[in-house]
Each structure stands twice: as C-alpha cells, then as structure tokens.
A and B are shown apart, each in its own frame.
Chain A
Amino acid sequence: MEAEIRLRVDGTTHTLRVDTRTSLLDALRDRLGNTSPKKGCDHGQCGSCTVLLDGRRITSCLALAVSHDGAEVTTADGLAPGDTLHPVQRAFLDQDAFQCGYCTPGQVCSVVGMLAEATDGRPSHVTGELTGPVQLTDEEIRERLSGNLCRCGAYVNIVAAVRQTLAEEAP
C-alpha cells in the first residue's frame, strides 16, 4: 500500500508517495536525498538516525513516515543555514568529538534536543531531586546522551563539546 504524505524537512516542504512500510529515516535518505541521518542498527538501539521531530529528538528508524504526515523534521544538515555551523557542530569540531563521523549527525541532533530538554527543567535518571533545577554535570550529560552510541569511543570529547556549548550559552 502507498500513501501520499507531506514532510517539512530542514525548512523545505516535500510532498511524496511512500510505501506504508517506509521509515522516516528511509524517506529522508532514499526519497529526499538527505543522507545526514545515518542507518546504524535500524532497531532504535544506536541513535545514529536521530533527528528532531517537531523539535524533539527521536530515532527516525522506528518512526513510520506515513504516521508522521505533516511533521516538521530537522536533521543535522538543517540545524544552521547554508555553510554556517550550529554552535553544537562548531563545538564538535573544536573538541575533536568524533573519529569516523558516522554517528556524529545523530549525536549533534541529540545534543540539540538534550539542551532544550534541560532548559525545560526535565530531570533525568541521575537527577537527585526530581522537582529541582537541572544542572548539566558530566554525569547528567552522559546519562542524557546514552541513546547515542559511538563505536570509535569519542565519548570523552563529546562531553567536552557539550560543555563548550554550555559555556558559550552562559550569560
């Protein structure tokens, strides 16, 4: 079965016919040519397909495209206009927060989503007081990014990249 859907991806609206089995990840990569979200495990375990769906980070491999007709999707490719870099992307470069780079677009989208959740005061598994303010310690950063695997093991510098972004944001 096929269905016609509309997706707004990185600011551009697309109308396309998809097989109902098509994941959002495959629609982005194979139909719209946006290869920044990566297919790692295709089971929601590795996080390399992470995009922002209506502003929230999700694993696009486990989302059926047809179910998200009308959605606004932001990929790592669309975080900043043209050749400019989003502060999180800049920090990943500055801190050498990757080696092969395959997980990086998912990591970057995940960090952007994570910073918004923290600003919103959402606690994590390691937040001591569930109703208190959120302080993004290294332990918090690691817990909040545990859904993104890096098989090169760049985790130490990914935490440093998040710290750089936080320092730049601080008033």
Chain B
Amino acid sequence: MIPFDYHRATDVEDAVRTATSRPDATYLAGGTNLVDHLRLGITSPSLLVDVSRLPFDDIDPLPDGGVRVGAGVRNSDLAAHPTIRRDYPMLAAALLAGASWQLRNLATTGGNLLQRTRCAYFQNPATPCNKREPGSGCSALAGWQRHHAILGASEHCVAVHPSDMAVPLAALDATVRLTGAHGDRGVPLTAFHRLPGDEPRRDTVLEHGELITAVDLPRLPPTTRSAYRKVRDRASYAFALVSVAAALTVTDGVVRDVRIALGGVAHKPWRATRAEETLRGADARPASFRAAAEAELAEAEPLPGSAFKTTMAREALVSVLTGLAEEGAR
C-alpha cells in the first residue's frame, strides 16, 4: 500500500475544502471497498479525508412524505429501520441481500453508491482494464464473462455495477444529495451512475471533491407493493448475476403504476423504462409481465458468456411482477 496522508474532517466545509485542494484526494467512510482497493493497488490516493464522523447518520421524514437517508447511515441500520422495513420493503430486502452482516455494519449509504465493479479484471492489476488503466484494453471481451453486462455496455467496458441497494433506489426515483466547492445539488439516482461509453474510468457524474450528504426517497402510495429478487451463484454472500427491484400499483386488475430496475446487467442500476411503458394501463397478468420483460430485453447485447442472463432477467422479472400482483389480489 502506498503511504497516504489522513485528515479527519471536522465538518462538511472542511471535508470539501480539503478534498478539493488535492487532485488525488479521496473520501473515506466505511472503507469496505476503498481499503481493499488500497491494498490491491487499484487506487493510490495521497490523501484520505475521513467523513465517517460527519453528522450524516440520521433517517428523517421529508415534508412531502418521503424519507431522507443520511449518507453515513450504515447499510445494516438502514435495513433495520422501521420506516424502511414498512414503507420500502424492496430497499430493506436489497440491503439484506448484499454482502455480509460484518460488512453491512461498516458500509455506508453513500459508500454503497460509490462502490466499484467486482469485474475480476478490474480487481487484478496484472490484467488490462480500461476502467482501472484507460487505454489498456478490456480483458473481459475475450475472458470470463459470467458477471458482465448485457445492456448499455461499450467496446471499452462491459463491467456491471455491483450494488444491490442502488437497484431499488433507481426504481424509486431516489435523489442523491451532493455538496461541493460550487454548492449543493441533487442528482436523480438514475442519472448518478454512468454508462461506460468511451470513458469507463468514470463510474458516476460526481465532480472531484463533491461529497454525497444524503439520499432522498419519494413517498410511495400505500397501495403499492414492492419486492427485490436476487439471483446468484450461492444462497448467500455473493454478488448478483441478475436482480430485480419492482414496485407495482394495481387497481381493479389494471396496472396503474409500476417502477422496475434491474441489477447485475449494466454499468449502472438499469431502470426498465420500456417495460414500465408497456405495462402502464395493461392488465396485471403474467402475459403482460412477459411482454414487458421482452420489450425491455429486446435490446440486450450479451457476450457469449453472459447470454444466459437475458433469459434469467426476463424470468426473474416475470416472476417478481406476478408475485406482486398475486399478493395485491389477496
């Protein structure tokens, strides 16, 4: 590990000023991804600005009925919070499906969004990777592709975003609250992460020195039912091959509203807008759900080693929506 300076931020202004002042400074919160990357040599900042003691550990109601989740709230505490369990079950379920209890006790809301891909080539400094070392090439294109993208990839990068938590947040239309040298802004979660294009080095739209302070969840109608399904290679403690977050509102057998996002399939949590458009106003029946899933996945461009994921995503989506519709009809 390359030596680095360490600064414990005293307040938000101090954190932003200190991080902005050095081009290769980075923020430290839970450290579950960053410390591993320091050790692997994937990143080598000269300064860590520790934001883990800033007062971002509250979960508060918003005036419009939504909820503001502080960036420092630990994944375990967010999953256990009574409001999240009652009103946003797909978010609680996604958190509980990710990592292990030990990691969730350290990992934060902000850090979860900023975790980097688990692509085996990105994580191995001995192999070419355009995300880690721009211009070096993409090893996955002729390599092991089981955990790679089927949607929105480019010739430069086929990595997927590893977060479970971010998938329901994308479906919910959550907003990421940021503060930086040029002030505060809110970015829709669906616009926070990037597709790789020709600049796979950049995972998000964050500017250098910008800090996540909170994530805002909009209110969901009480009649909405939501669920998270994760498909993986073992029963626990593994990253998703495919995951589905869906929230469904049905009245008199007709889909009034639906929000869907897929995980494990793209460089960002994939909001399934085509499936949603297909479903709004349709009968809440398995045939409609299948048509919606097929509409979404029509543009999938898997690699030979990830081709199974197109079928897996379709079936997972049909299964989750059918389950939600049946639950609502009971």
Contacts and interface: CB of A to CB of B under 8 A. Distances in A.
B35 A130 contact: no
B48 interface: yes
The range of chain B's interface size is: 35 or more
B3 A124 contact: no
Interface stretch (A85-93, A110-118, A161-169): A110-118
B329 interface: no
A15 interface: no
A10 interface: no
Contacts of B85: 123, 130-131
Contacts of B3: 1, 19-21
B117 interface: no
Interface residues of A, number: 42
B35 A62 contact: yes
A50 B6 contact: no
Contacts, number: 112
B232 to A, nearest CB: 11
Interface in B3-24: 3-6, 8
A1 B4 contact: yes
B275 interface: no
Contacts of A75: none
Contacts of B50: 66-67
A44 B276 CA distance: 38
Interface stretch (B63-71, B90-98, B137-145, B309-317): B90-98
Interface in A49-72: 50, 53, 56-59, 61-64, 66-67, 69
Interface of B: 1, 3-6, 8, 28, 31-32, 35-36, 38-39, 48, 50, 52, 76, 79-80, 82, 85-86, 89, 92-93, 96-97, 99-103, 105-106, 235-237
15 contacts: A20-B5, A21-B3, A43-B36, A44-B103, A57-B101, A59-B103, A62-B32, A67-B31, A113-B101, A117-B101, A122-B79, A125-B93, A125-B97, A127-B96, A130-B86
